Amino acid sequence: MKQLDHNLSERVHRLELGAVDYFLVLPGMLFGSYVMPLTVTAMALWLGWQLGAVAVIVAITTLAITNPMKQWFGRLRPQPLLVKRAFKLRKLVNNPSFPSGDSAQAGAMVTLVIMFAPWPWSLFALPLIPLCMFSRVYYGAHWFGDTIAGVAIGCFVALPFGYWFADFVRSGLPAA
């Protein structure tokens, strides 16, 4: 399984997509530690401070799960890419790679949006998960297995919090 993960990921690591690099940087950083506060703030402005508060709790819980796992598994990140990228996201990370914290946050935040944003608008957030996953692999920060595990963790963290705090979040949602 590890060999399959590496083979698929290395194919993406070798891709040269030119101008698409500029498109992929947004989902690649949207759920990372540098931009995540802005992501949560945007969610709070759109769907109310109550959702923003739950999103902060979910983000911290997700971080509290993924960071120790990174140290426990100690999986090395891919080697720096040989192909040129418009952005050097790989240089921003130096901790172990498994599981992907950015993908976990993407799974968590998108799960909250799907649970509480008005339909069908909430579905527009769904592509952010595979875009984040692909971007993290494309920029050489992760293997695909890291991102799959990260999304699973994020979704499994967000679902119970969304359920437990549903009435609280819904009390602050804008009228549809």
CB atoms within 10 A of CB 23: 13
Residue type, 109: M
Q: For the chain, what percent of residues have pLDDT higher than 70?
A: 98
Report phi then psi at 93, rounded to 5.
-120, 140
Average pLDDT over the chain, rounded to whole?
88
Q: Are 87 and 139 in contact (CB under 8 A)?
A: yes
Q: For the chain, what percent of residues have pLDDT higher than 90?
A: 46
Q: What is the pTM for the complete model shown? A: 0.90
Spatial separation of the C-alpha atoms in residues 70 and 87, rounded to whole Å: 24
80 pLDDT above the threshold of 80: no
Given this model, what pLDDT does residue 2 score?
75
90 pLDDT above the threshold of 80: no
- The end-to-end CA distance of the chain, in Å, is 46
Given this model, what pLDDT does residue 12 score?
80
* Mean pLDDT, range 67-77, rounded to an integer: 90
pLDDT digits (tens, 9 = 90+) for 1-16: 778 887 888 888 787 8
